[in-house]
Each structure stands twice: as C-alpha cells, then as structure tokens.
Amino acid sequence: MSKTLRQEQTVTGTPDHARMRFLEHLPRFVFFTGKGGVGKTSVACATALELTASGRRVLLVSTDPASNIGQVFGIVIGNVVTGVPSVLGLSALEIDPEQAVADYRERMIAPVRGLLPDDEIAALTESLSGSCTTEIASFDEFTGLLTDDAGYGGFDHILFDTAPTGHTIRLLQLPGSWTEYLTTGGDASCLGPLSGLEKQKTAYADAVRALTDPSRTRLVLVSRAQPSALNEIDRTFAELAAIGMSEGYVVINGILPEVAGDEPIATAVRAREDAAIAAIPPRIAGLPRDLIQLQPANMVGAEALATLFAPAARAAGSRGDQPTDTPSDAPLVMLVDQIERDGPGLVMCMGKGGVGKTTIAAAIAVALAHRGHDVLLTTTDPAAHLTETLAGDVEHLTVSRIDPEDAVQRYRAHAMATKGKGLDEEERAALEEDLRSPCTDEVAVFHEFSRAIHESRRRFVIIDTAPTGHTLLLLDAAGSYHRDITRQIGGKATFVTPLMRLQDPERTKVLLVTLAETTPVLEAEGLQHDLERAGIHPWAWVVNNSIAAAHPRSSFLALRASHEAEQIARVRQTASRVALVPLLEREPIGASRLLTLAEGVRDEP
C-alpha cells in the first residue's frame, strides 16, 4: 500500500481526529465483531465516547462470556445496567452467563415452587444447570436488548461488543434457529432448559427483524492488517449475510504508523500490513473501510480511548529518552523441552482471543513432531484455521478440527442408533425432534473434545482452544458430565472423566497465552482463577508477540515496549513458568518458521 493511501485512509478529517466512515448516520444497534484480539472492545468503547460527546445516551453491551469492558473503564460491571461515572451519558452491561442462568432458572422454577415435591424441584434445578441452559439464558438477555423498548428505550444507541467470531455467529444465528425450531413443531413445553422458549417466540421473531434491517442495525467487522483476521471477517460476513445481515463496514485496527527513526522490524511489519490490505478478500473489499493507527499507549481508561481514532502520536525523543530496562529472554523451547521430558499427555493452549494460541499450539506441535514424536494437533475454536498456520504437512503430525456441524451429525446419528434402537415410530420421531434443538451442538462438541482428551493417553495431544469464554462453557460441560457420572456410578466402580484428566497435572499441561498488554493479562489472570476453582492449575504462561522481547531501538517501538515491561513483570509474579515470544519480522506461518519460533532461534529475513 502506498504511503498516500495509508495516510488517506487513516487521517482524513481534522488534524486531531480521523473521520470514521462507520460512524456516519449510525443506527440504533451496532454490532462489533471479528477475530479475537483485533480490538473490538477498544473500538466499541471509543465509539461510545464519540457518541456521548455529542450528547447521545449510549448503552454499551458485552455478549462475550469473558467480557473486559469493566476492566477498560476501571469499574465493576455486571448483569445489570451500570452507569460509567467518568463518562456522562454512558451506561454498560455485561451479559454474565452465571447470573443470566440464575435469573433464567428462577423464572422457570418459581411458578412451580410449592406445587411440586422437593425431589422434583431438585431434579428440575439440575436439568437447568448445563451449558445448554447457559446458552439459552444468555441469548434471552440478548433478545431483550433488541426488543424491549420499555426497558431500554431511553438509549439512543445500543452498542454490542461481541465475543470472538465463532461464538458471535452462533449468537446472531440463534434467533432464526430457535424461531425455526419452534415454528416447525419443536416441543418447548417440557420442563427443562427449553421450557421458557415458547412464550419468547414473538420476541425471537422481532429480534430477527431488527438484526436484518440496516436502518436499525449496523454490522462493523473489526480486523487487524493480517491475512487470517481479514479472512475471518470475510467468512463472518458471508455467514451473517446468509441470515440477512447483508451490509457491513470494515475497520482495520492497529496499523503501525510511519515514524522517524524506524528500524528493520518496523519496516517489515508495515510491509506485511500493506500486503495484507492489498490482498483483502473480494467480498469485503468493496465495503466502506476505515484504518485506525496503533497508539503508543494501551487503550485502557476513557482518556486513552478518546485518542483511538486520532492519528498516532509521534513518539518524541531519542532512544536515550526511553526506559532502557528490557526483560530477560525466556524462549519457548524451555517449555517444549519439559513437555518432551514428561512424555505423552495433553497440552491445552488457552487465553483471550487473538493472543496467538493457534500459533503457539502449532509451534509446540511442530517441534515435538520434528523430534520424532507422534503428535495430534486439534482445535475447539470454531474460528481457528490450523491448516493455514501450518501451510503444509508435517511428518509425525496429525491435524484435526472439532467441527461443530460434523460433530452434531455424528452425535445425532449415534443417538438415533443407540437411544433410538427399539423405539416405535412415534418415539423415534420425538427423539429426532429433540435432537434438532440448537442445544445439541454444545453436547456434540463436548463429546468430540472428550475423544481428543482420551487420545492423550498414548501420544502428545496439543489442543488450540476457543477464546476464553467459549472454552469456559466447554469446561462447564465437562463439569456437568463429571457430576452426572459421579451421581450415577458413585463408589460402584473406578472411572476417569474428562474433567478428572484435566485436573491431573501428570496428564495435562495448561498454557495460558497472553500479550504484554493490560487487558489480555487481566483476562488471563481471571481465567487462571476460574480454572483453579475447577481444580485445574495452569502449568505455564506464554507472553506472545512481545515488542519488548524483540529489543527495539526506534523511539515509537521503544515506547510501546516500555508499556509492556510492567505487564511482563506482573506475569512473572503470577506464573511459575514463563516463556517470552518476540514480535517477529515475518509471520510464523509454515512448519519451518514455526519450528524457528519454538526452538528459540532469532528470526532471520
């Protein structure tokens, strides 16, 4: 991309502020979606500040089970509308799955409490405790925001900071899925998770109309200038266009600005960005597009967020004006060596979307395979694309993906062949109807996840997990299954559930992958606490794509590195093992570059 075009797309507007095309004639509902880690939360929060500055009343909503809006503004936000004290006219809401489930469960149980025996109430409570209920309850909250004018009519705009792509597509498809299920004869009258759906049929239909009306809803596809992120929003746009969301705006965030005193790594990164934008997929190439420059500071707090749409500040001073302390090197190979010494088992890469879990998982798998070990590399992330990262076959390495659609088909076929065996025609029809429920998807994916865990008894299994919130829902399913098995078998026999295997440090190593930035580190800390409550103890942390670990010389990158130093120190206080992976001049795509990353060799042009 030429310098002229780069400037034209990023700084059109006033000297202190760029004009964002996606902000023009903004409708009431705005959805920010895209691959994890591209900056959806920052763009959504900065948009909220823009709108409130012009006197609008704004509700900022997170549909991400691992929301960090509260962290960004430095306040506690939960499942109720909360005013943001530092911003007049701004309120926020985080759809908390646990609280949503509690509220939904109470709405279902309250009418029959006192009418049914205690043991039936207990059974009903248990039936409303799985991941299916979590999905329905969260979706119930989401639908209300689109349709409840009495509750939310006072807001001029409702902005949705969504979960990473795969989870978001699932959420936005649900109005149509549940509407189709109910209108084609699906039974929502039974006690259990589906019992509250029938009375919501009208609300779901209204939600579909709101989502597919461009005068009411705008879709903002947020990306980085990276092929994988741009391809992701291209796929997202295709899937959402299929349900009627056929208009969109593209925002490419975090563009490295051109500054004085640049060094080779900055030049190489900009060349990568320009090439990625020049090759933007045709389906989204014609959509209105904005470029947002990388800022020297982290986007935390209203003051920092107010600068996001401005041209990046030119870092003043020479290298001597910047902090000279840099973190000591801690290459990924140290972790690979220990994993190899401990022998076959399960390695799970977990963390916030966009921190590079796929890259780290693939690098570890390639390194182990290169050393001659039998390795299975798989993913639970609906938006992950391992084959693109590997860019070819690797000896001793098997690659798979837990595909929700394939998993559902296999699960339904298995259920019909086992549970359906011996049923009469009417009973089989009822079972088929039950298996058409969107709840079946979560159960089916859990079964495939359990199969991958089982494989780790005989070879190295590396799992690239979905972004944090979606992974926690999967682990919740593991917990529900464990409780069911324990209740059914009790002390009658010896058994090992998937959750028990995840809790065993001899069999499972959990790697928390993060970036050296405030929000990803805070979220990784929260994930560690959630895992520890489930009896799962993270084995190591990986700080990925670190500018500080690349030891930059130019003033702008040195300033960015100085902001990383505090976060790296914080990680080292939290974790017993830490690996630092530096920002590389070339993207780690292909087995050769992944091996270079894993073995800790300096990247060569």
For residue 433, the tally of other CB atoms under 10 A from its CB is 14
Whether 213 sits among the annotated catalytic residues: the reply is no
Catalytic, out of 35, 40, 357, 509: 40
Q: Which residue out of 10, 33, 34, 41 is catalytically annotated?
A: 41
Whether residue 334 contacts residue 364, with contact meaning beta carbons closer than 8 Å, is answered with no
Say which of 37, 196, 345, 469 is annotated catalytic.
Answer: 37
Active site residue 519: yes
Token look-up 């520890």 returns 532
Among 10, 63, 64, 437, which one carries the catalytic annotation? 64
Q: Percentage helix, strand, coil, to 5, in the chain?
A: 50, 15, 35
Report the run of H or E that residue 492 belongs to, with start and end.
none
Residue 367 to residues 323, 337, 536, 595: CA-CA distances in angstroms? 35, 9, 25, 6
Q: Give the up-direction half-sphere exposure of residue 552: CA atoms within 13 A in the CB hemisphere.
A: 32
Cα 295 to Cα 310: distance, rounded to the nearest angstrom = 9
64 noted as active-site residue:
yes
352 is catalytic: no
Nearest CA among 208, 151, 158 for reference residue 58: 158
- Name the token pair of 336: 């690979």
Give the CA radius of gyration of the chain.
Answer: 24
* DSSP assignment letter at 216: T
Query: Which residues, in sequence order, are bridge partners of residue 463?
Result: 348, 378
Report how far residue 418's alpha carbon sits from residue 412's, in angstroms, rounded to the nearest whole number.
10
Tokens for 338, please give them. 């220990």
Residue 40 annotated as catalytic? yes
Name the catalytic one among 10, 33, 34, 42.
Answer: 42
Per the document, the length of the chain is: 605
Q: Is 119 among the catalytic positions?
A: no
DSSP 335-381: HHHHHHHH-S-EEEEE-STTS-HHHHHHHHHHHHHHTT--EEEEE--
Concerning whether 37 is annotated as a catalytic residue, the answer is: yes
Exactly one of 519, 546, 555, 596 is catalytic; which is it?
519
Of 39, 248, 353, 469, the active-site residue reads: 39
Joined together, the tokens standing for residue 551 give 């030891």
- Cα–Cα distance list, 52 to 58, 69, 78, 158, 306 (Å): 7, 16, 21, 12, 11
Q: What are 554's two structure tokens? A: 């130019």
- Whole-angstrom distance, CA of residue 128 vs CA of residue 597: 45
Which positions are annotated as active-site residues? 37, 39-42, 64, 519
